[in-house]
Chains A and B, each alone.
Chain A
Amino acid sequence: MKKLLLATAATLAIAGGASAQGMDKVKACFVYVGPIGDGGWTFQHDQGRLAVIEEFGDRVDASTYQESVPEGADAERVLTQMALSGCNIIFTTSFGYMDQTNNVAAKFPNVKFEHATGYKRDHANVSTYDARFYEGRAVMGTIAGHMTESNKIGYIGSFPIPEVIQGINSSFIAARKVNPDVTMSVVWAYTWFDPAKEADAAKALIEQGVDVILQHTDSTAPLAEAAKTEGVIGFGQASDMTEFKPSPRVSSIIDNWAPYYIERIGALLDGTYEQKATWAGIAEGEVEIGEITDAVPAEVKAAAEAVRDAIVGGQHPFTGPLNKQDGSAWLAEGETPEDGDLAGMNFYVEGITGSIPQ
């Protein structure tokens, strides 16, 4: 009997390859780039933290978090202090913490580090996770293509980085599919969060005749601006932004980090934790499509849900034939891009006017 147990343990250790045994209690810590009160990005990460507490109760101490940690030297210090304070797993929830996360991970090999939206995993105890927001954008784009009467869609971008460009392309492709006359105007706000500027950007778009606004900035200001003009609609970004239901907010893309956080902490508890790189989308529940309100006709809602379900079923939002903006071929018929290429996307697809600022 004893031998058998030993043998099982040995197989487990080989199969698991990482932390061999589970833990009785896990201290999970979170580093946020903004205040929880931002109502968007950081708010959603904190919702994930609360879901962890809900799920595990006494077995997990997830009471430790820090808001508004600047990216750079301060992040490295906060991470080190957290590791010193006895955190077993630390979630660093902004791209700008990438190098700091890896630096600190080198010093604390027994602490697990989870870095959101990054790609560096220099040490065995660093994992990365990200969400396929562009999948959600395809659903929004479908609604936008159907709903626009002026055939002009506006997009408020934050910074010209791959994640944002993916969203612009994905929503445009989806909109064109259902409405060949659609055009898209992109305004770069050069900020993730500046309510007044986002409101101005939305206003500028509306004045240009845009009647559907998509945004990749984090405040609800564009929705509030849309609410001032009859017939203009928009979408919740990062969080559900329910206060603008049923219109102008007709649906939303919700970053739902709860399943991932629960999965990872659960794995640490039961000893199955391994280093990995996760890029999850709608199917895994990491990108959620918020309720599509009655401000949208039933058939549009059905079309949007069909797109969503197709993506869950494996349909890639970027499926060829697709050309780049300059007309050169990007994807052949039926072809889909590699994740690596997607992660570095730096061009518009054919049909979008304007250029990406360099």
Chain B
Amino acid sequence: MDLGGINPAVLIASLMVASVPIMLAALGELVVEKAGVLNLGVEGMMIIGAVMGFAVAVNTGSPLAGFLGGAAGGAILSLIFALLTQYLLANQVATGLALTLFGLGLSSLIGQGYVGIRPPLTGAVPLGPLADIPVVGRILFRHDWMVYGSLVMVAATWAVLKFTRIGLILRAVGENHEAAHALGYKVRRIRVLAICFGGAMAGLGGAYISLIRVPQWTDGITSGAGWIALAIVVFASWKPWRVLLGAYLFGGITVLQLNLQAAGARIPVEYLSMSPYLITILVLVIMSSGRGRIAAAAPASLGKNFHASR
């Protein structure tokens, strides 16, 4: 079962790993945006998560503690954003960009003592005989627990947004904060919690890069993954399952182009490296044309600050 020298099972298995960080960060941002907040600081929160996760894991020797530390780091950084945009009513786009700048600088300061260290390893989940099933085993049952964790998070986010009261309130706040406020919901508090969740997820994604995917700490290790996560949220038209799809598409094309090169396919590399972006735009156009679905799916209060005047 080979395609131009590439084994699809192997390809799928590696794209599942490659897309974990952007999927986690995108899920977090999706919740933030569902609450009506646009936080462009994902890259900054990811890299803080990467360095904090790495530092905690190295110091405790436990990858699990590392991931918790990464999530905490991202969440704490996101509190700055929450304070500025929710309490001081600063512009969200500018604050998010400033957050990225600050996060990149701070991470490098924190990480100074951690260059050239190997973190404790996170092994694959022992699924015993399942891992030996031909093809399917290779694709599905030989991953570390974060791969499964991220899939669980997709399902959980979907379920919470769709079926629970919390999800309903969150969406109400994102669609029309004035009305939500009039109904007695604490718009600001809900948004702060959503921003925190987004920060934690971005931090988790960052920690996955520094603890499993690469695994090491170097300055600028996330190298733009946060921006891609932002793209995926819009690509997904704010639907968790489509985040999964978007992350796999994006991760998949990156992995595929490197695999094609390794397999010796004669392809113009520099144009291929543009392909994930071009294909995303294309898919976006297809999805948004016709009935204008994407525009309709955006939370109506996205990016607008809320101030209870009465």
A–B proximity contact (CB within 8 A):
yes
Is B288 an interface residue when CB atoms closer than 8 A count as contact?
no
Q: A200 and B254: CB pair below 8 A?
A: yes
Count the A residues whose beta carbon is within 8 Å of the partner chain — how many?
A: 40
Given the complex of chains A and B, what is the CA–CA distance between A221 and B221 in angstroms? 10
Residues on B with beta carbons closer than 8 Å to the beta carbon of A244: 118
Decide if the interface of chain A is mainly helix, strand, loop or mixed: mixed
Residue ID in chain A nearest B18 by CB atoms:
A200
Chain A 29-55 residues near chain B, CB threshold 8 A: 34-35, 37-39, 43
Beyond A200-B254, A221-B214, 11 additional contacts (C-beta under 8 Å) are A37-B115, A38-B218, A39-B218, A154-B262, A189-B258, A194-B223, A195-B216, A204-B259, A205-B262, A219-B214, A219-B216
Given the complex of chains A and B, what is the CA–CA distance between A355 and B14 in angstroms? 26
Q: How would residues 7 to 37 of chain A score, 1 for a CB under 8 Å from any chain B CB and 0 otherwise?
A: 0000000000000000000000000001101
Min Cβ gap A196→B in Å is 6
Min Cβ gap B231→A in Å is 16
Chain B 211-237 residues near chain A, CB threshold 8 A: 213-216, 218-223, 225
Q: A204 and B255: CB pair below 8 A?
A: yes
Min Cβ gap A185→B in Å is 5
Is B165 an interface residue when CB atoms closer than 8 A count as contact?
no
Is A108 an interface residue when CB atoms closer than 8 A count as contact?
no
Q: A39 and B116: CB pair below 8 A?
A: yes
Residue ID in chain B nearest A244 by CB atoms:
B118
Given the complex of chains A and B, what is the CA–CA distance between A318 and B173 in angstroms? 69
Residues of A within 8 A of B (CB): 34-35, 37-39, 43, 154, 185-191, 193-197, 199-201, 203-205, 207-208, 210, 219-221, 224, 241-244, 353-355, 357
Given the complex of chains A and B, what is the CA–CA distance between A207 and B216 in angstroms? 22
Instruction: Say yes or no: A37-B108 contact (C-beta < 8 A), given A203-B14, A207-B262.
Output: yes
- Quick one: which of A34, A195, A207, A224 contacts B223, CB cutoff 8 A? A195
14 A-B residue contacts at CB 8 Å? A34-B219, A37-B115, A37-B219, A39-B115, A154-B262, A187-B258, A191-B223, A196-B222, A196-B225, A197-B258, A200-B255, A208-B259, A219-B218, A221-B214
Residues of B within 8 A of A (CB): 5-7, 10-11, 14, 18, 21, 108, 111-112, 115-118, 209, 213-216, 218-223, 225, 254-255, 258-259, 261-264, 266, 268-270, 273
- Quick one: which of A43, A188, A243 contacts B117, CB cutoff 8 A? A243
Instruction: Say yes or no: A243-B116 contact (C-beta < 8 A), given A190-B269, A204-B258.
Output: yes
Given the complex of chains A and B, what is the CA–CA distance between A153 and B263 in angstroms? 12
Residues on B with beta carbons closer than 8 Å to the beta carbon of A207: 6-7, 10-11, 14, 259, 262
- Quick one: which of B6, B7, B213, B273 contacts A196, CB cutoff 8 A? B213
Given the complex of chains A and B, what is the CA–CA distance between A357 and B273 in angstroms? 12
Min Cβ gap A348→B in Å is 13
- Quick one: which of A39, A185, A197 contacts B262, CB cutoff 8 A? A185
- Quick one: which of B111, B213, B262 contacts A204, CB cutoff 8 A? B262
Q: A197 and B223: CB pair below 8 A?
A: yes
Given the complex of chains A and B, what is the CA–CA distance between A56 and B174 in angstroms? 64
Residues on A with beta carbons closer than 8 Å to the beta carbon of B213: 196, 199
Residues on A with beta carbons closer than 8 Å to the beta carbon of B209: 195-196
Residues on A with beta carbons closer than 8 Å to the beta carbon of B215: 224
Q: A190 and B270: CB pair below 8 A?
A: yes
Min Cβ gap B51→A in Å is 11
Q: A220 and B223: CB pair below 8 A?
A: no
Q: A199 and B273: CB pair below 8 A?
A: no
Residues on B with beta carbons closer than 8 Å to the beta carbon of A190: 269-270, 273
Min Cβ gap A338→B in Å is 30
Residues on A with beta carbons closer than 8 Å to the beta carbon of B261: 185-188, 204, 354
Q: A35 and B7: CB pair below 8 A?
A: no
Given the complex of chains A and B, what is the CA–CA distance between A242 and B115 in angstroms? 12
Given the complex of chains A and B, what is the CA–CA distance between A190 and B268 in angstroms? 12
Given the complex of chains A and B, what is the CA–CA distance between A39 and B115 in angstroms? 7
Residue ID in chain A nearest B112 by CB atoms:
A37
Min Cβ gap A144→B in Å is 16
Q: B214 and A224: CB pair below 8 A?
A: yes
Residue ID in chain A nearest B11 by CB atoms:
A207
Min Cβ gap A236→B in Å is 11
Residues on A with beta carbons closer than 8 Å to the beta carbon of B264: 185, 353-354
Given the complex of chains A and B, what is the CA–CA distance between A243 and B216 in angstroms? 10
Given the complex of chains A and B, what is the CA–CA distance between A248 and B209 in angstroms? 20
Residues on A with beta carbons closer than 8 Å to the beta carbon of B118: 224, 243-244
Residues on B with beta carbons closer than 8 Å to the beta carbon of A197: 223, 254, 258
Residue ID in chain B nearest A160 by CB atoms:
B269
Q: A357 and B223: CB pair below 8 A?
A: no
Given the complex of chains A and B, what is the CA–CA distance between A195 and B47 in angstroms? 13
Residue ID in chain A nearest B119 by CB atoms:
A224
Given the complex of chains A and B, what is the CA–CA distance between A283 and B36 in angstroms? 64
Q: B108 and A35: CB pair below 8 A?
A: yes
Given the complex of chains A and B, what is the CA–CA distance between A243 and B222 in angstroms? 21
Q: A200 and B258: CB pair below 8 A?
A: yes
Q: A196 and B218: CB pair below 8 A?
A: no
Residues on B with beta carbons closer than 8 Å to the beta carbon of A219: 214, 216, 218
Residues on B with beta carbons closer than 8 Å to the beta carbon of A199: 213-214
Instruction: Say yes or no: A208-B263 contact (C-beta < 8 A), given A187-B258, A194-B223, A196-B225.
Output: yes
Q: A195 and B214: CB pair below 8 A?
A: yes
**A-B pairs, 8 with minimum CB distance:** A204-B258, A35-B219, A204-B262, A208-B262, A204-B259, A195-B214, A187-B261, A37-B219
Residues on A with beta carbons closer than 8 Å to the beta carbon of B258: 187, 189, 197, 200-201, 203-204
Min Cβ gap A354→B in Å is 6
